[in-house]
Amino acid sequence: MFPNRFEPLARGPALKTYIDGMLRPGLLAPFEAALPDERFLKGRQGARPLTFQRATNPHCGFFALSAAQLAHWIAQPQFGDQDCSFISPLESTATLGILKTFPIYKPFGRDMGWLEIEHLDTRFSAVNLAGRPQAAPRPG
């Protein structure tokens, strides 16, 4: 389970923007084929139902493993392979080894905020849907 990344918004229709949108079609297909699993999982926190989705963008810059999971990952042939083929070296370092070893899920829909981590930048939320940086607001 990975957290959703968000950037806080000083202005706008919402308090924050979730920044990990879907990756280009087909990019995750080899990983999903190698580790088939359910598209959605249901869980609970007490009486609260929770929904998780197989991540459409597994990168989040954070993960935590149990001792058993770490031992499993270390035993895999891809452990320490220095593969940098996932988006860029940064995303590869933070995500690719885990992506090759485990199906990755993130909280989905109304439950996105159940597990989230703040991205300490605003470069993603400052881009409009056309892909261009938004103009800075004028003072006064």
pLDDT in tens, 10-58: 777 778 889 988 999 999 999 999 999 999 999 999 999 999 999 999 9
Edge-first strand listing for the sheet containing 40-45: 40-45, 48-54, 105-107
Please give the angle made by the CA atoms of 115, 105 and 132, to the nearest 5 degrees. 75
Does residue 113 lie in a domain region?
Answer: yes
Does residue 48 lie in a domain region?
Answer: yes
Does residue 75 lie in a domain region?
Answer: no
Instruction: Supply the pTM of this predicted model.
Output: 0.82
Does residue 55 lie in a domain region?
Answer: yes
Q: Which tops the pLDDT comparison, 13 or 67?
A: 67
Domain extent, residue 20, equals: 4-64+105-118
Highest-scoring range by mean pLDDT, 13-17, 69-73, 117-121: 69-73
| Number of domains the chain contains | 1
Phi–psi pair at 85, nearest 5 degrees? -90, 0
Does residue 54 lie in a domain region?
Answer: yes
Query: How far is it, in rounded angstroms, from Cα 89 to Cα 83?
Result: 8
Does residue 125 lie in a domain region?
Answer: no
pLDDT at 81: 94
